[in-house]
Amino acid sequence: EMLAAGWAGEVGLRRVSVSGVPFEIQGQQVFGTDFSVPLPAWPASEQEGARSAYEDGEFVLEVSGTRQLRFATLDYVYEDLIIRADLRLLAGSGDGDYGFICGFQDNAHFTALEVSEDGYFSIWKRAGDETSVLVDWTYADVLISGEGLRLSAQCGTGALRLAANGLLLTEYVDKEFSPGLVGILAGTYAGGQIKVAFDNLEILIPGVE
């Protein structure tokens, strides 16, 4: 199924304001879409607790139910890549999260780089029965502008990086990172409802012109 379920682990919160440095890594685009035409890999679908649709030129992920995680992946596997897109929160319950997934092997082996409705970001990974928080949930003013975000994530053995609106939020070196599929995700916590729109999605290979 295009909409796959994942397990959202318990994570800590850290109330630290972050002023990011510029994130200006460029590369060769290997995939890009403005969702004006539906992607064959991501058909509109609906299942219990999750819905995907093409609405007003955007791709929408909607998740309901507490502690639910849904994601959609693309078959692009590189040692190092950047995924970026415009994201808009259409509806939520105050504690949902959304962003990117990479290093995806299966529903229990992946890395998530995401932001929350209330202005936090995190990097964490799932490996079988274990969830590891690589970067604790950390507050950033740039995430609560009230407008949409241009979110970017870099995934590779050299570093995991997350940026918003051209500013680096965090980076972490995971020596155990294994390349895998890449994609988007949205999840809920106690509130149990989130709807996120994605647009102008790109995948790039950094350092390649």
The full set of domains in the chain, from first to last, is: 4-206 (2.60.120.560)
In this prediction, residue 72 has a pLDDT band, given cuts at 50, 70 and 90, of: very high
Question: Per-residue pLDDT tens for 106-164?
Answer: 999 999 999 999 889 999 999 998 999 999 998 888 887 667 899 999 999 899 999 99
Instruction: Return the pLDDT at 15.
Output: 53
First-to-last CA distance in the chain?
Answer: 34
User: What is the residue type of 170?
Assistant: T
Amino acid found at 31: F
Q: What percent of the chain has pLDDT over 90?
A: 60
Q: How confident is the model at residue 1 (pLDDT cuts 50, 70, 90)?
A: very low
Q: What is the pTM of this model?
A: 0.89
Report pLDDT for 89. 92
Q: DSSP letter for 66, please.
A: T
* Residues 44/53, Cβ–Cβ less than 8 Å: yes
Instruction: Give 62's pLDDT tier (boundaries 50, 70, 90).
Output: very high
Q: Say what the pLDDT of residue 116 is.
A: 92
Enumerate the β-bridge partners of residue 88.
197
Torsion of CA 69, 138, 133, 48, to 10 degrees: -10
